[in-house]
Amino acid sequence: MSAQTYVSDLFSLDGRVAVVTGGSSGIGRAITGALARAGASVVVVARREAELKSTVEELTADGCRAAWVGADVGTGEGVRAAADGAVAAFGEPDILVNCAGVNLRPPMGDLGEDVWDTTMAVNLKAPYLLGQRFGPGMAERGYGRIIHVSSQQAHRAFVNSGAYGVSKGGLESLARSQAEAWSPHGVTVNTLVPGFVLTPLNARLQADPEKVESLAARTLVGRNGLAEDFAGAAVFLAGRSSAYVTGQSVFVDGGFSVH
């Protein structure tokens, strides 16, 4: 067996179906592209149709199988629409990536119930509902991979963590609960934990060059993250080679968390 064949077999996602929420922008788009190019049929779920179409057109031009579903996962109805549309495209998924998120960070004293409820609905409740929809089926079939995208704010408070940090802390706890329930049946559940990543979700903070520079200085590699930094980790956690990795928070942060 050649080295190329060995590596391909170890990390190939051929024959798998993946659903990626928030998959048309930032980290989600990078993960979508990585899973598709590793062989999975990918359904991208997001709100903005233009970005969805652009993502899918790019992938299909590269010979990948991809489809999109326009849905707002901030509501129960939107989550159901996303799930139904995803299944209609390629069938029940083997891989679920929860990357959709909102990043609303008013000062704690100004944090109202509206921001709290919106943040929890998108960042925490939607991953729970999608897990409830797809996790049992994955367990019944004996294979599944659920990947959540969390944040440093799940572990440390800075730049007005507020409701955002709470939601991401809950998301990592959700991953452990899902892992406890379904890993005995072949379903691994893990969380990717970014550092500060230069994506549209962080546009407000990127407007402050001094803050961006200070965050880069907190890493060990000397730079802030890029969306493509998550491609390899996502393919690993989505495939058979990660079968003994579950309930974990995997930091992809350039050493931010240990500096």
| pLDDT tens digits, 167-207 | 999 999 999 999 999 999 999 999 999 998 987 777 676 67
Over residues 244-249, the mean pLDDT reads 98
What is the band of 14 on the pLDDT scale with cuts at 50, 70, 90?
very high
- The encoded tokens of residue 90 equal 């390629």
The pTM score is 0.95
Cβ count near 241 (within 10 Å)? 15
Classify 257 as helix, strand or coil: helix
Over residues 218-232, the mean pLDDT reads 95
Catalytic residue among 6, 128, 143, 164: 164
Strands 17-21 and 249-252: unpaired
**Does 164 qualify as catalytic in the annotation?**
yes
The pLDDT, as a whole number, for residue 35 is 98
Q: How far apart are the C-alpha atoms of 24 and 50, rounded to whole Å?
A: 9
Cβ count near 141 (within 10 Å)? 13
What is the band of 29 on the pLDDT scale with cuts at 50, 70, 90?
very high
The pLDDT, as a whole number, for residue 65 is 98
Asked whether the predicted pLDDT for residue 45 surpasses 80, the reply is yes
Q: How far apart are the C-alpha atoms of 13 and 244, rounded to whole Å?
A: 17
The pLDDT, as a whole number, for residue 1 is 77
| pLDDT above 90 as % of the chain | 87
Over residues 114-131, the mean pLDDT reads 98
The pLDDT, as a whole number, for residue 4 is 85
Over residues 240-245, the mean pLDDT reads 97
Asked whether the predicted pLDDT for residue 139 surpasses 90, the reply is yes
Asked whether the predicted pLDDT for residue 58 surpasses 80, the reply is yes
Backbone phi and psi for residue 245, each to the nearest 5 degrees, phi listed first: -115, 115
